[in-house]
Structure 1
C-alpha cells in the first residue's frame, strides 16, 4: 500500500516538531530536565513558546516525542500483519525491527539515565507504558473477536511491552528478544531441558 504524498505544510510542521524535540532533548541531556524551561527550548529551536505548546502538551511529552507514533505502529503490527502470521510472530517482528535500532542508538544510555533520574519522566513513562499496553490489548482482542478486557490479550500485551526491558543489557539483544518470544509462543520449560 502506498502512502499518500505529504504536503509542504505537513512537512514543515513535522520539521518544526522534530526541531523542538531535538532541541529539548539536547538541553535536557546537557543541563538536566529540571534546569530547562519551555522558554529555553523555544529559544534553542527558534520558535515561540506558543509553537512549542501547539506541538507538545507539556514538558514531559518533549522527551517522548515519538511515543504516539510508536503506539500507532505497535497496534498496526497486529492489525496489518500478513495473512497467516500469528499475533505473537507479528509482534516479535515489530520488536526486532523497532526496538533493536533504539537500543543501538548512541544516546540510549544517556536517555535512559535522564528518564530514570527524573521522577516526572519516570511517572510519565509509566503512564505511557500503561496506555500502550491497553491499546495493544484492545487491538489483539479486536483481532481475535473477544472482549476488550480479555485477560489473555491483556497479559500478552504486557509481556510484549516488557520484552525490551528484559533484553536490555544482554550480550546479544536479538537472541534475548527471540528467547522471550519463544517463551511466549511455546511456553516455559526449565533451562537446560529440551522438550
Structure 2
C-alpha cells in the first residue's frame, strides 16, 4: 500500500532539530530564572529545574554541562568568539580598544535597552556570589585568546606581557563596571583610562 504523505508534515531535518534544541534550552533557562528569583539561587537544585521545564536531568546537563551557573550565564565559547571577532572585524581606522569598547557597549548591562528580563538576571547575578564569580571567570577565561588576537592585529609578539596585562584589565571591566548604578558611564571611564595607558593599541 502506498503511504499518502501529509503535506503539512515537516521532516525531522537539521533545522527542526535545532529549533527543538533551542526551545528546550529556552524552557530550561526560563524555569531556572523563575525558580532562582522565587527561592534564591542556592536553594534550587538542578533536578527541580529539569522538572519545572518538563525535561530529564540528563537533558539539562546535555544542554548546560556547567550546571546551574551555566543556565544563567552560558559558557565562555560564545564570549571568546565574539571578542576576537570584534577585534578582527573592526573597521579601518578603528583601534583595538575602540572596537572592544563598542563591543561591550552593546552587551549585557551596558546595552542601551537591555529589557526587563535581562535586568532581573543582572540583579540576580550581582546578588549571588556564586553567579558573579562564574560570570567573572567566563570573561577572564578569554584572556589568552584576546591577548593573542591583539598581538596579531598590532603586529606585536604573541607573548608580550603588556598585551596580556591589557587583556586582563579589559576582561575585568564587566565585573567592575557592570554592577554599578550607571554601567555605561563606568564602562567609558574604564576605557578612557586604558586608552591613555595603551595609546598604541
TM bucket (normalised to shorter chain) is 0.7 to 0.9
Residue 163 (structure 1) aligned to one of 163, 170, 173 = 173
Query: If the length of structure 2 is used for normalisation, what is the TM-score?
Result: 0.74
Distance in 1 (CA, whole Å) between partners of 2:41 and 2:179 is 24
Indicate how the Cα distance of structure 1 residues 141 and 11 shifts in structure 2: closer, same or farther if over 3 A, else same. farther
- 1:1-195 correspondence to structure 2 within 5 Å: 7-57=15-65, 58-65=67-74, 67-99=76-108, 100-101=110-111, 104-106=114-116, 110-112=120-122, 114-116=124-126, 118-164=128-174, 165-166=176-177, 168-171=179-182, 173-187=183-197
Query: If the length of structure 1 is used for normalisation, what is the TM-score?
Result: 0.76
**Count of aligned pairs between the two proteins:** 182
The answer for unaligned runs of 5 or more in structure 2 is 1-13
- Report which of the two structures shows the higher radius of gyration computed on alpha carbons: 2
For the 8 Å contact 2:64–2:71, the answer to whether it is kept is yes
For the 8 Å contact 2:50–2:60, the answer to whether it is kept is yes
For the 8 Å contact 1:92–1:181, the answer to whether it is kept is yes
Distance in 2 (CA, whole Å) between partners of 1:129 and 1:41 is 25
Alpha-carbon RMSD across the aligned residues, in angstroms, is: 2.9
Aligned residue for 1:3?
none
The answer for unaligned runs of 5 or more in structure 1 is 1-5, 189-195
